[in-house]
A and B are shown apart, each in its own frame.
Chain A
């Protein structure tokens, strides 16, 4: 009987066992030497006496402060038997950060307790990455540090870009197809914004958003993760005027909602090679920018003469009047 009850007993004990005490979690992104940076942490405490004081301190040590400098201090009080997670965020001044290694000592002092957790952090790599045929791989140093459920890990930004060539060739002039572009990221991909920029051409793209690049108009993008591959998609529905195929980012009278970016009708000659950019702001842990410059080239017209177009109208005479049954009389 006891033998059969043992697994249940173990399960019950396992379920009711209190989580680990001490430093539970923190996240240190690659350090900015300019901006103030938030660092979140959680310390898990269980008081053994009444009004027990917990002194939480964070000390930073680097070549500028070889003896260390106190960057955070806070005291919390708990009554006996109370268990609490102290969740705090502190703001690290970028001026305190130095080149090379920056060591953080997360410490907690209390009655009979002295918990210290050490974390080696490094400054952010400030860069703008321009992917192309030759430059399709980006690997930065391990400079992201986190403690998660008591487990300390260090991570890096690492990307491999696929299909990011200087010219994207499309079979024919129809709609923008970015399905050939995808990238891999070693970590869940974080970013601030993604924009597709299209070089202005007369008034053709005037219904798109303005861009900080004056010669370009902007369409917001996002990324979709499919089996560890990140692919671009439009961030919100687009709107197309069905006759001219002019595109808008906002709903307008006479425009239809669409998920595609169509190229303007009858402008193949000027728009067969469109200068475009994809700009990703604050990508990855290092919050660097990625700027992909490319030409979108359409080989053929969508429809026109059979020699230079994907589709063409072919005419033949027919004497099959029998098929024509539904005659309509029209006055001129």
Chain B
């Protein structure tokens, strides 16, 4: 009887571990495969002034990234947390213009039993040399 209970417990732990691993790798893959096309499309074209460095359209980027995570994290989680932090890669102060050529995108997802997936990536707009 004990042997059966131990077997089921071990099986349960193994299944939980397997499920945990599938979710973790799926979320991780989804995060790292965030399409560059989204960020490229978010680079302002029309409203860019003659002397401006290219910069992100923050509204578009936020919506497009959220939409991407909603579509691709559905199999792994019911909700997630996302955050954006903009910066100028040359350290210029663009608080008033809001024109930033760098962004950190962070993602947090509850896995199970208080374990959280959390990761962040920085995307900067570089120039051809």
Cross-chain pairs A/B with CB under 8 angstroms, 11 sampled: A310-B128, A313-B123, A313-B124, A314-B124, A320-B120, A324-B83, A324-B85, A326-B83, A327-B81, A327-B106, A332-B79
**When chains A and B are docked, how far (Å) is the Cα of A327 from the Cα of B121?**
15
Main secondary structure of the interface of B (DSSP, over half): strand
Please, which residues of chain B bring their CB within 8 A of the CB of A307? 128
User: Would you give the shortest CB distance from B63 to chain A, in whole angstroms?
Assistant: 11
**When chains A and B are docked, how far (Å) is the Cα of A309 from the Cα of B125?**
11
* Count of inter-chain pairs, beta carbons less than 8 A: 113
Q: Say yes or no: B40 contacts A303, CB within 8 Å.
A: yes
Please, which residues of chain A bring their CB within 8 A of the CB of B69? 330, 332
Please, which residues of chain A bring their CB within 8 A of the CB of B80? 329-330, 332
Q: Residue of B at shortest CB range from A263?
A: B45
User: Would you give the shortest CB distance from A259 to chain B, in whole angstroms?
Assistant: 11
Q: Residue of A at shortest CB range from B48?
A: A174
Chain B, interface residues (CB within 8 Å), range: 35 or more
Q: Does A240 contact B (CB under 8 A)?
A: yes
Q: Residue of A at shortest CB range from B42?
A: A313
Please, which residues of chain B bring their CB within 8 A of the CB of A312? 125-128
Contacts A313-B126, A315-B121 given; indicate if A256 touches B46 (C-beta within 8 A): yes
Please, which residues of chain A bring their CB within 8 A of the CB of B84? 324, 326
User: Would you give the shortest CB distance from B22 to chain A, in whole angstroms?
Assistant: 16
- Residue from the set B39, B45, B108 with the largest chain A CB neighbour count within 10 Å: B45
**When chains A and B are docked, how far (Å) is the Cα of A245 from the Cα of B70?**
27
Q: Does A306 contact B (CB under 8 A)?
A: yes
Q: Say yes or no: B106 contacts A324, CB within 8 Å.
A: yes
Contacting residues of chain A (157-188) with chain B, CB-CB under 8 angstroms: 172, 174
Q: Say yes or no: B126 contacts A332, CB within 8 Å.
A: no
